[in-house]
Amino acid sequence: MAMVDVTVRGGGIFGLAVAHACATRGARVRLVEARAIGAGSSGGLVGALAPHVPENWNDKKAFQLESLLMAQDYWAGIETLSAQSSGYGRLGRLQPLADDRAVEMARARAKNAAELWQGRAEWKVIEASHFAGWAPPSATGLLIHDTLSARMHPRLAAQALAAACRALGVEIVIGEAEDSGAVVWATGWEGLVELSRTLGKTVGNGVKGQSLLLGHSATDLPQLFADSLHIIPHANGTVAIGSTSERDFDAPDTVDAQCDALHTRALAICPALAGAPVIDRWAGVRPRAKSRAPMLGPWPGRPGHFIANGGFKIGFGMAPKVGEVMADLILADRDTIPEGFHVEANL
């Protein structure tokens, strides 16, 4: 097997993004995935690319903002290179406002967003009647409408990104292959468990999530976030509902009554979905670093090895920027990763 400059282990969104970024800069890259592209949490259904609240600003929120602002051009480039749809669309998000205090807070955050989001997106308070028939119930009749949130179809996006990597010359191996050059470990929740074992301290683990997909066309409407539930209209005429967060689980990839409960809650939030058939259900485990931020950078005490893990619920939104900073580190020895993202921040 030919020598390469970078070996990426893991065919989820972080592994693919790192492989793509390194290949774009001219590196010879091999991506090794044990099961299938998007076999873990990157093969889910939801795909909510939503920002953190614009207040109490920090490196994590700034990093995510930059990645979300990169996303439109990034995914357009992936679609051109791969000739496949990623399902990306920046159509915003609606959230209900329960009382006067919530309205006041939302308006204060709108002022923060005007400054922090560089005038490139808005966080605003609107009348729910602007989205009659789709808006979630709101006791005040008002909603938060942010125009930064975008939707993504995780399975389509992972396949499109894999095809774009191949177009750039990345060798993708399903199964096993030897390591060569720098080695990037983007191996999901199981990788976090193994890293914890190797370091002798828990640095992360897995959180199970369940979601479902309905056959309902709402392709040009914003996503909804209400009652801790994401309702995401996809470009292919489906709507994703998710998700649960289960720290204790016996079966990582099976659905149960908790998935049914998501459906019931979604219909209460969005009656327009009544009668839409359930066409898919999904369960999987998302990698959560101890710090809750992505875990990026050198593997402590293991020269030439790097970690790109811990995307948890924001992996697809972070991916464009994650690929960029990891390529900076691996190929140019330039560390542009926020300090709180390093593995040491979880020790």
Q: What is the pTM of this model?
A: 0.97
Label residue 2 by pLDDT band (50, 70, 90). confident
Q: What percent of the chain has pLDDT over 90?
A: 99
264-303: pLDDT as tens digits = 999 999 999 999 999 999 999 999 999 999 999 999 999 9
Rg (CA), the chain: 20
pLDDT of the residue at 162: 98
- 1 has pLDDT over 90: no
CB atoms within 10 A of CB 35: 11
170-217: pLDDT as tens digits = 999 999 999 999 999 999 999 999 999 999 999 999 999 999 999 999
- What average pLDDT score do residues 235-242 get? 97
pLDDT of the residue at 128: 98
What's the whole-number average pLDDT of the chain? 97
- 119 has pLDDT over 90: yes
| Fold classification of 6-88+152-202+290-346 (topology level) | FAD/NAD(P)-binding domain (3.50.50)
Q: DSSP class of residue 220?
A: T
158-179: pLDDT as tens digits = 999 999 999 999 999 999 999 9
63-117: pLDDT as tens digits = 999 999 999 999 999 999 999 999 999 999 999 999 999 999 999 999 999 999 9
Give the CATH number of domain 205-289; options: 3.30.9.10, 3.40.50.300, 3.10.20.740, 3.40.1080.10.
3.30.9.10
- What average pLDDT score do residues 220-246 get? 97
Q: What percent of the chain has pLDDT over 70?
A: 100
pLDDT of the residue at 195: 97
Whether the domain at 6-88+152-202+290-346 and the domain at 205-289 fall into the same CATH topology = no
- What average pLDDT score do residues 40-45 get? 96
Q: β-pairing, 305-309 with 182-185? A: parallel
- What average pLDDT score do residues 11-21 get? 98
pLDDT of the residue at 121: 98
- Categorise residue 44: left if φ over 0, alpha if ψ from -120 to 50, beta otherwise: beta
3 state SS of 23:
helix
Alpha helices by DSSP H, listed for 168-288, are: 188-199, 257-269
Q: Any idea where the domains of the chain sit in the sequence?
A: 6-88+152-202+290-346, 93-147, 205-289
- 124 has pLDDT over 80: yes
Q: What is the DSSP string of 167-182?
A: HTT-EEEES-----SE
3 state SS of 204:
strand
Sheet with 305-309: strands ordered across: 171-174, 29-33, 6-9, 182-185, 305-309, 295-298
Q: How far is CA 222 from the centre of its chain?
A: 17
CB atoms within 10 A of CB 73: 10
